């Protein structure tokens, strides 16, 4: 039955939609204690066939990644002395370097803020490891994949995209309440939370003014992943930092030669240095 179901939907729907339908049906079987007759290899083979049969019109365009030059171009169009735009830029750099989702640092609407679901200034702490390296941690009360929340972090960066400087400036200009939205901004005699639609629209407007094509919000997390890989951070570390459940993020990446360059050098000393950084030490008794 499942095979006939997939075959019927193939070429009419995207393979992702078919996959979601199929896993939904499988979940129903498991929940109701009904035996699931389809084996995994058969299911995966049929889904791959459905992917190949997906018409181009139904295939989602790959999301372009945010890059540091793109972020700087947006910054040039913002007035950081304006409370709202200072909040926008601080939010952008925090999301980028923390490798998080836009919805984890913004709210859906002006009235949607909930202290037990959204990030607040009181959820931000400074941490130092045993080597004295400092980082800023954000305890997200709730995430898309964890109702119990998650801790994400970033560290100070060099240059104009330094997120520590941007966040400090935002906190100074806006002084958001400790138990209110982290990226609340001053508006008349009150504070307003930074909403996701307004955040995305502001970035799009700034990009257009800079003569660039606006990007989707998901491109920030994709761009962050790309940036850390370009800095030489190992794939598995980037996967953990970005909380990617699979290797699906690899399909979005560009600049493959630059990412892989350190691993392809002929000089043995380069390999030795990389191995010390990327491979765990094996202890022997």
243 is a domain residue: no
Which residue range is the domain that position 19 belongs to? 2-58
Query: What is the predicted pLDDT for the residue at 259?
Result: 60
Same domain assignment for residues 158 and 54: no
Please indicate, yes or no, whether residues 37 and 125 belong to a single structural domain of this protein: no
pTM above 0.85, yes or no: no
Q: Is residue 264 part of a domain?
A: no
Give the pLDDT score at 97. Answer: 94
Lowest mean pLDDT across 93-107, 126-140, 142-156: 142-156
Q: How confident is the model at residue 282 (pLDDT cuts 50, 70, 90)?
A: very low
Q: Same domain, yes or no, for 162 and 215?
A: yes
Q: Which of 19-23, 64-68, 109-113, 208-212 has the lowest mean pLDDT?
A: 19-23
Give the CA distances from residue 16 to residues 6, 24, 60, in Å, rounded to whole numbers and listed in that order.
11, 12, 10
pLDDT given for residue 285 in this prediction: 46
**Same domain assignment for residues 185 and 54:** no
Q: What percent of the chain clears pLDDT 70, i.e. is strictly above it?
A: 79
**70 pLDDT above the threshold of 90:** yes
The DSSP call for residue 65 is P
Measured between its terminal Cα atoms, the distance across the chain in Å is 56
Report which secondary-structure segment, H or E, holds 270.
helix 268-278
More confident of the two residues 12 and 30: 30
Long-range CB contacts (< 8 A, 24+ apart) of 235-243?
A: 238/99, 241/99, 242/99, 243/99, 243/100, 243/143, 243/145, 243/150, 243/152
The reply to whether 13 and 94 lie within a common domain is no
| pLDDT(45) > 90 | no
Task: Dump pLDDT digits (tens) for 238-281.
Answer: 888 888 777 666 665 665 666 666 666 666 555 555 555 555 55
Is residue 198 located within the same domain as residue 159? yes
Whether residue 143 contacts residue 86, with contact meaning beta carbons closer than 8 Å, is answered with no
pLDDT of residue 24: 81
Does a structural domain hold residue 276?
A: no
Which DSSP category does 261 fall into? G
The mean-pLDDT minimum among 87-96, 130-139, 162-171 falls in 130-139
Among residues 14, 39, 58, which one ends one of the domains?
58
Residue at 251 is within a domain: no
Domain end point (choices 169, 190, 221): 221
Q: Where are the beta strands (DSSP E) in 94-250?
A: 124-128, 134-140, 150-154, 185-187, 190-192
Write down the pLDDT at residue 36: 75
Domain presence at residue 229: no
Same domain, 105 and 190: yes
Query: Taking Cα atoms as reference points, which of 154, 166, 161 lies closest to residue 98?
Result: 154
pLDDT band at 63 (very low <50, low <70, confident <90, very high): low
Q: Is residue 78 in some structural domain?
A: yes
Residue 86 lies in a domain: yes
Q: Are residues 128 and 21 in the same domain?
A: no
Do 81 and 210 reside in the same domain of the chain? Answer: yes
Same domain, residue pair 147 and 188: yes
DSSP SS3 for 123: helix
CA distance 123 to 192: 18
CATH number at 158 reads 1.10.443.10
Tens-place pLDDT, residues 203-242: 999 999 999 999 988 889 988 888 888 888 887 888 888 8
Whether residue 227 contacts residue 134, with contact meaning beta carbons closer than 8 Å, is answered with: no
Q: What is the DSSP letter of 276?
A: H
> What is the pLDDT confidence band of residue 194, given thresholds at 50, 70 and 90?
very high
Grouping H, G, I as helix, E, B as strand and the rest as coil, residue 64 is coil
42/276: higher pLDDT = 42
Question: Does residue 96 carry a pLDDT above 90?
Answer: yes
> Which pLDDT tens digit goes with each residue over 109-136?
999 999 999 999 999 999 988 888 899 9
d(CA 96, CA 91): 8
* Region at 193 (left for phi over 0; alpha for psi -120 to 50; beta for the rest): beta
Tell me 283's DSSP state.
Answer: P
Domain end residue (candidates: 221, 250, 276): 221
Report the distance separating Cα 262 and Cα 231, nearest Å: 10
Do residue 160 and residue 201 come from a single domain? Answer: yes
- Residue 185 belongs to a domain: yes
The b/e string for 84-122 (b: 16+ C-beta within 10 A; e otherwise) is: bbbbbbbbbbbbbbbbbbbbbbbbeeeeebeeeebbbbe
Judge if 135 and 184 occupy the same domain: yes
Binned at pLDDT 50, 70 and 90, residue 284 comes out as very low
Domain total in the chain: 2
Is 62:68 a contact under the CB 8 Å cutoff?
no
Residue 83 scores a pLDDT above 60: yes
Please, what is the average pLDDT of the chain? 82
22 has pLDDT over 80: no
Nearest-angstrom CA–CA distance, 277 and 193: 41
């Amino acid at each position: 039955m499942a095979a006939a179901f997939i075959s019927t939907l193939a070429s009419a729907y995207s393979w992702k939609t078919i996959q979601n339908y199929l896993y939904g049906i499988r979940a129903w079987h498991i929940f109701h204690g009904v035996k699931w007759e389809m084996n995994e290899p058969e299911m995966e083979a049929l889904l791959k066939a459905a992917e190949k049969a997906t018409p181009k019109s139904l295939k989602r365009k790959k999301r372009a990644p945010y890059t540091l030059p793109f972020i700087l171009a947006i910054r040039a169009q913002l007035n950081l002395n304006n409370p709202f735009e200072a909040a926008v830029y601080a939010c952008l750099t925090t999301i980028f370097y923390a490798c998080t989702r836009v919805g984890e640092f913004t709210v859906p609407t002006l009235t949607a803020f909930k202290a037990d679901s959204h990030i607040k200034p009181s959820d931000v702490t400074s941490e130092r490891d045993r080597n004295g390296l400092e980082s800023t941690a954000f305890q997200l009360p709730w995430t898309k994949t964890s109702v119990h929340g998650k801790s994400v972090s970033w560290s100070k960066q060099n240059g104009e995209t330094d997120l520590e400087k941007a966040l400090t400036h935002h906190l100074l200009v806006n002084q958001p309440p400790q138990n209110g939205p982290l990226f609340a901004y001053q508006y008349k005699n009150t504070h307003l939370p930074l909403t996701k639609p307004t955040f995305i629209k502001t970035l799009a407007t700034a990009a257009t003014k800079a003569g660039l094509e606006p990007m989707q919000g998901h491109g920030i997390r994709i761009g962050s992943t790309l940036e850390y890989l370009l800095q030489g951070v190992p794939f598995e570390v980037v996967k953990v930092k970005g909380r990617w459940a699979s290797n699906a993020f690899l399909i979005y990446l560009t600049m493959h030669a630059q990412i892989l360059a350190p691993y392809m050098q002929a000089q043995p000393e380069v390999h030795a240095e990389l191995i010390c950084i990327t491979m765990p030490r094996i202890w022997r008794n």
